[in-house]
Amino acid sequence: MNTAALLEDLGHQVVEADSGQEALECLAQRPEIDLLITDHAMPGMTGSELIDAARSLRPDLSIILATGFAAEAVTQA
């Protein structure tokens, strides 16, 4: 079971995006989104880059960066 399916089973509404750019478009178009969960490795931009861009659009947005990469790799990104 993936994260989206788990969250839906728990009663949350989930919007999935296939890239960082698509996630930013969703955030811009859907003000009801109140949490961003992202991986570090994505097509087009890193999770860190997405977080920076999302904070520019929505400074109060709660964000979780979840990744399988070692902490050193994420810190250096």
| Tens digit of each residue's pLDDT (9 = 90 or more) over 21-35 | 999 999 999 999 999
- Cα–Cα distance list, 12 to 4, 15, 33 (Å): 9, 10, 11
Q: Full-prediction pTM beyond 0.85? A: no
The domain in which residue 69 lies consists of 20-76
User: Would 64 be classed as within a structural domain?
Assistant: yes
Region at 52 (left for phi over 0; alpha for psi -120 to 50; beta for the rest): alpha
Rounded mean pLDDT of the chain?
89
Closest by Cα among 60, 65, 52 to 24: 52
User: Would 55 be classed as within a structural domain?
Assistant: yes
State how many domains the chain has. Answer: 1
- Cα–Cα distance list, 65 to 24, 38 (Å): 15, 5
User: Would 26 be classed as within a structural domain?
Assistant: yes
- Does residue 73 carry a pLDDT above 60? no
